[in-house]
């Protein structure tokens, strides 16, 4: 049975179940909602300090929001740090849940060989003065999936009317995003419950620190990056030398897929709910931690 033909539970039953889950989570004092499972404390891995990362990194893959940014923007000091790392011989590739439009523009600000956007749905590859676009699914299928996604949004908004499509959804080509913590402020339990409801509609869904992203269930950040490394760069034999840094639940596939995985310090607030954890954690939060990682990687390439 194809994903398009998959049976979707009745909307009334799904909605009532999710709403009950939110109420239950609130009553128990949990802020995670039904879509996030907390691991027992004694089963959680301990993060290693960044100083224990001694491997030579060939390429740095990086989340954007909450990792490259502080307070929602990329600071001048961060752009400078990226330029220093590139000059030291380590390319930087942003890997973001943000829109395709955002990612295409980011190529003008960072000398990146590629940008992965929409949690893996749309990748832009720099080829000389040209930019090539890679889609994670056939372009002919996008309209059908968008119709299903908008039907799911209508159901989510009947249950949680405070949630709304992000303003950058107008610049998305495949996925869509619900704003829960950027221009609106909604309890995290409701955002996590929205993730659950979207999944019940046969969609992939994950929460970042600003949005609930949802899309056809065929890809994520990891699958897009592995395709980029293997099919475009022809660099599959060096994948173990690619590092990833992130800060949120939608980074978990990357923490699982790349042994040289790093979390900036704000990831610790999500530690019990992460299905996969980064191996190393910086001392600094957000962009301060990102810059800390960059300076560490540069120091590893310095002689002596």
For the stretch 197-210, pLDDT in tens is: 999 999 999 999 99
Same domain for 149 and 193, yes or no, is: yes
Reported as type and span, the H/E element at residue 80 is helix 76-87
Q: Is the pLDDT of residue 28 over 70?
A: no
Q: Which position has the token pair 């300090």?
A: 49
Reported as a pLDDT band with limits 50, 70 and 90, residue 36 is: low
Same domain for 152 and 180, yes or no, is: yes
Look at residues 181, 197, 217 and tell me which one is the last residue of a structural domain: 217
Residue 170 makes CB contacts below 8 A (sequence gap 6+) with none
Q: Give me 213's structure tokens.
A: 């992203």
CB 95 within 8 A of CB 106: no
Mean pLDDT across 173-182:
98
Same domain for 110 and 257, yes or no, is: yes
Residue 174 falls inside a structural domain: yes
CB 178 within 8 A of CB 207: no
Percent of the chain beyond pLDDT 70?
86
Same domain for 191 and 74, yes or no, is: no
For 107-155, write each residue's pLDDT tens digit: 999 999 999 999 999 999 999 999 999 999 999 999 999 999 999 999 9
- pLDDT for residue 302: 81
Question: For residue 54, what is the domain's CATH number?
Answer: 3.40.50.1000
- pLDDT for residue 26: 36
Reported as a pLDDT band with limits 50, 70 and 90, residue 303 is: confident
Angstrom distances, CA of residue 127 to CA of 83, 86, 92, 116, 132: 19, 17, 16, 15, 7
Residue 29 falls inside a structural domain: no
Residue 90 falls inside a structural domain: yes
Residue 156 makes CB contacts below 8 A (sequence gap 6+) with 163, 178, 194, 197, 198
pTM of the entire predicted model: 0.86
Same domain for 104 and 233, yes or no, is: yes
Reported as type and span, the H/E element at residue 280 is strand 280-281
Same domain for 72 and 120, yes or no, is: yes
Same domain for 153 and 169, yes or no, is: yes
- pLDDT for residue 1: 33
Number of domains composing the chain: 2
Q: Give me 259's structure tokens.
A: 């042994």
Look at residues 172, 201, 217 and tell me which one is the last residue of a structural domain: 217
Mean pLDDT across 21-48:
56
Q: Would you call 104 exposed, middle or buried from its count of C-beta atoms within 10 A (0-12, 13-18, 19+)?
A: middle
Same domain for 223 and 145, yes or no, is: no
d(CA 209, CA 117): 16
Same domain for 131 and 236, yes or no, is: yes
Same domain for 53 and 189, yes or no, is: no
Q: Is the pLDDT of residue 261 over 50?
A: yes
| Domain span holding position 159 | 139-217
Same domain for 125 and 233, yes or no, is: yes
Residue 293 falls inside a structural domain: yes
Same domain for 157 and 296, yes or no, is: no
The number of angstroms, rounded, from the C-alpha of 289 to the middle of its chain's C-alpha atoms is: 17
Question: For residue 190, what is the domain's CATH number?
Answer: 3.90.1070.10
d(CA 205, CA 214): 4
Residue 155 makes CB contacts below 8 A (sequence gap 6+) with 11, 14, 15, 197, 201
Angstrom distances, CA of residue 252 to CA of 11, 90, 256, 277: 29, 23, 6, 7
Residue 173 falls inside a structural domain: yes
205 bridge partner residues: 214
Residue 162 falls inside a structural domain: yes
Contacts within 8 Å (CB) and 24+ apart, 49-55: 49/280, 49/281, 49/283, 50/262, 50/280, 50/281, 50/282, 50/283, 50/292, 50/293, 50/296, 51/296, 52/280, 53/243, 53/260, 53/262, 53/279, 53/280, 53/296, 53/300, 54/300, 55/241, 55/260, 55/300
Mean pLDDT across 46-66:
97
Q: What is the crossing angle of helices 286-301 and 76-87, to 10°?
A: 20
């Amino acid at each position: 049975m194809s994903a398009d033909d998959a049976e979707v539970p009745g909307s009334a039953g799904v909605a009532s179940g999710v709403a009950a889950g939110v109420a239950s989570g609130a009553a128990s004092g949990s802020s995670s909602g039904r879509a996030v499972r907390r691991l027992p404390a004694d089963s959680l891995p301990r993060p290693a300090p960044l100083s224990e990362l001694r491997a030579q990194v060939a390429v740095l893959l990086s989340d954007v929001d909450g990792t490259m940014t502080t307070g929602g923007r990329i600071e001048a000091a961060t752009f400078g740090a990226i330029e220093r790392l590139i000059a030291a011989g380590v390319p930087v590739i942003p890997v973001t849940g943000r829109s395709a439009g955002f990612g295409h523009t980011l190529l003008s600000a960072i000398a990146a060989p590629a940008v992965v956007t929409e949690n893996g749905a749309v990748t832009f590859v720099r080829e000389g003065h040209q930019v090539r676009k890679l889609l994670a699914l056939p372009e002919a299928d996008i309209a059908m999936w968008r119709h299903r996604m908008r039907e799911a949004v209508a159901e989510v908004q009947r249950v949680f009317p405070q949630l709304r499509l992000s303003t950058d959804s107008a610049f998305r080509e495949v996925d869509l995003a619900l704003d829960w913590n950027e221009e609106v402020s909604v309890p995290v339990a409701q955002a996590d419950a929205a993730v659950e409801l979207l999944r019940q509609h046969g969609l992939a869904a994950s929460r970042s620190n600003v949005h609930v992203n949802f899309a056809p269930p065929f890809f994520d950040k990891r699958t897009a990056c592995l395709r980029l490394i293997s099919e475009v760069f022809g660099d599959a034999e060096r994948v173990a030398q690619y590092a990833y840094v992130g800060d949120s639940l939608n980074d978990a596939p990357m923490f699982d897929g790349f042994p040289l995985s790093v979390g900036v310090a704000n990831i610790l607030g999500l530690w019990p709910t992460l299905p996969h954890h980064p191996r190393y954690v910086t001392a600094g939060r957000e962009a301060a931690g990102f810059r800390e990682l960059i300076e560490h990687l540069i120091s590893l390439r310095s002689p002596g």
